[in-house]
Amino acid sequence: MKKAMFILNPSSGKELAGTYKDQTIETLQEMGYEVHVKETQGEGDATDFARQACVEKYHLVTAMGGDGTINEAVNGLAEQEHRPIFSFIPLGTVNDFARALGIPLDPVKAIEALKTAEPRFADIAKAQNKFFMNILAVGRIAENVSHVSVEQKTKLGALAYLIEGVKALTSDEETEVSVEHDHGTWKGNAVIVLAALTNSVGGFEKLAPNAETDDGLLHVFVVKSAGIPAFLRMASAILRGKLEEDPDVIVIKTKKARIETTPELSCNLDGDEGCTTPIDVKILERHIELLVPIKEIV
Ligand SMILES: Nc1ncnc2c1ncn2[C@@H]1O[C@H](COP(=O)(O)OP(=O)(O)OP(=O)(O)O)[C@@H](O)[C@H]1O
CATH number at residue 83: 3.40.50.10330
Peptide bond before residue 278 is cis, with ω within 30 degrees of 0: yes
If one residue of 9, 16, 48 were mutated to test the ligand 1 pocket, choosing by the most ligand atoms within 8 A of its CB, it would be 9
Quickly state the pLDDT bin for 212 (edges 50, 70, 90): confident
- 272 alpha carbon – ligand 1 mean position (Å): 11
Same domain, 110 and 184: no
Task: Give the range of the structural domain holding residue 60, as residue numbers without chain letter.
Answer: 2-123+287-297
d(CA 169, CA 139): 11
Same domain, 184 and 62: no
If one residue of 8, 11, 130, 201 were mutated to test the ligand 1 pocket, choosing by the most ligand atoms within 8 A of its CB, it would be 11
Give the pLDDT of residue 156.
66
Rounded mean pLDDT of 263-288?
A: 93
Which among 91, 118, 121, 105 is positioned nearest to 31, based on CA atoms?
118
Same domain, 138 and 241: yes
Q: What is the pTM of this model?
A: 0.89
Nearest protein Cα to ligand 1, atom 18 = 66
pLDDT tens by residue, 172-199: 678 899 999 999 999 999 988 999 998 8
Same domain, 222 and 250: yes
pLDDT tens by residue, 134-158: 989 998 877 877 777 767 666 666 6
Which residues fall within 8 angstroms of residue 296, CB to CB, at 6 or more apart? none
> 77 near 52, Cβ under 8 Å?
no
Number of domains making up the chain = 2
Same domain, 49 and 141: no
Same domain, 230 and 141: yes
**Count of Cβ atoms closer than 10 Å to residue 154 Cβ:** 14
Q: What CATH number has the domain bearing residue 138?
A: 2.60.200.40
pLDDT tens by residue, 223-257: 888 788 888 888 888 888 888 888 989 999 999 99
Quickly state the pLDDT bin for 298 (edges 50, 70, 90): very low
Same domain, 52 and 139: no
Peptide bond before residue 119 is cis, with ω within 30 degrees of 0: no
- 293 alpha carbon – ligand 1 mean position (Å): 24
d(CA 269, CA 79): 18
Same domain, 83 and 219: no
Residue 296 has pLDDT above 60, yes or no: no
Residue 20 has pLDDT above 60, yes or no: yes
CA dihedral (208, 89, 41, 1) in degrees, to 10, reads: -130
- 213 alpha carbon – ligand 1 mean position (Å): 24
Give the 3-state DSSP-derived string for 91-110, with helices as H, strands as E and coil as C: CCCCCHHHHHHCCCCCHHHH
Same domain, 116 and 238: no
Which among 228, 234, 62, 219 is positioned nearest to 135, based on CA atoms?
219
Which residues fall within 8 angstroms of residue 65, CB to CB, at 6 or more apart? 7, 8, 9, 12, 13, 17, 40, 46, 88, 91, 92
Atom of ligand 1 nearest to the CA of 271: 25
Rounded mean pLDDT of 114-120?
A: 94
Same domain, 106 and 149: no
Same domain, 160 and 271: yes
CA distances from 263 to 164, 165, 171, 176, 177 (A): 17, 17, 14, 7, 9
**Assembly ipTM:** 0.94
Question: Cβ < 6 Å from ligand 1: which residues?
Answer: 9-13, 40-43, 45, 65-69, 92-95, 150, 271
**Is residue 13 classed as helix, strand or coil in its secondary structure?**
coil
Same domain, 146 and 271: yes
